[in-house]
Amino acid sequence: MRTKKEYKKEEKIGECFFIKEMSPIVFEKTNTSNTKSTKRVALFECICGKKFKCIISDIKSGNTKSCGCLRDAKIQQQGLKNKIHGRRNHPLYRMWQGMLRRCNNVQDGAYFNYGGRGIKVCDRWLNIDNFIEDMYPSYKLGLDIDRKNNDGNYNKINCRWATRKQNMNNTRRNRHVKYKGETKTVSEWSDILKISYKTLIYRLNNWNVEKAFTLKLQNNGMVR
């Protein structure tokens, strides 16, 4: 069994300074793994003086070097901020901004499921003009950006437009159930079986798949 390494306050790890350990993050099963994984998390102090929460291994490996200030500086050096200002009203601006936050900003609520797992935005898409050039021709109102491989990065090859429901069906957090040789998400089975999503989740959490999928509903929506 590997010994858990203890860190001291103000100890330098990577480019940042350790302050205190916090509750770990437990990642659900992924497309490539059937087991859950746990990541140690700590509060760090950035070289700029700002405190932020991050996965310890990301700091040690150099995957995360700051609270986000270094990435902002890089973007500024590339002269992108002036370009961004003129794109704020573009239909893809908020999607582009959200994509960057999820992957680069450790303060973002979704960071641990994106940047925390090593998901990155390709260098080309750090420039919003390139993102618009690659993705806007196929965009339709109401669609969200979706990664084909949920363990892959944001880039032209791995991304497409999808409805919110398709996007949720493709998320790594969605539960997949195998029945009669077919594997689908609970949401997809809900549509096929004409059983509400919440009812189906309740059944699967308490019954076997056969009973959950075949027990008929009464007119009032309650099971017999």
Per residue in 173-213, pLDDT (tens digit) is 556 778 888 887 777 788 888 888 778 877 877 788 888 88
Where are the extended beta strands (E) located within the chain?
12-13, 16-27, 37-45, 51-55, 144-147, 159-162, 176-179, 182-185
- Type of residue found at 28: E
pLDDT, residue 222, reads 42
Copy the structure tokens of residue 152.
């892959």
Distance, C-alpha 161 to centroid of its chain: 16
Alpha-helix residue ranges (DSSP H) falling in 1-79: 56-61, 69-77
Phi then psi dihedrals of residue 53, to 5 deg: -100, 140
Q: Exposure string (b/e) for 168-190, b if CB count within 10 Å is 16 or more?
A: ebbeeebeebeeeeeebbbbbbb
How does the average pLDDT of the chain come out, rounded?
Answer: 80
Determine the Cα–Cα distance for residues 51 and 37; give it in Å rounded to an integer: 25
pLDDT, residue 224, reads 36
Instruction: Provide the 8-state DSSP code for 223.
Output: B
**Segments of the chain scoring below 50 in pLDDT:** 172, 219-224
Determine the Cα–Cα distance for residues 161 and 163; give it in Å rounded to an integer: 7
Copy the structure tokens of residue 114.
């994106």
Determine the Cα–Cα distance for residues 200 and 213; give it in Å rounded to an integer: 8
Copy the structure tokens of residue 146.
């979706």
pLDDT, residue 220, reads 41
Determine the Cα–Cα distance for residues 208 and 178; give it in Å rounded to an integer: 11
pLDDT, residue 64, reads 86
pLDDT, residue 142, reads 83
End-to-end CA distance of the chain: 50
pLDDT, residue 148, reads 84
**Sequence-separated (6 or more) residues with CB below 8 Å from residue 63:** 118
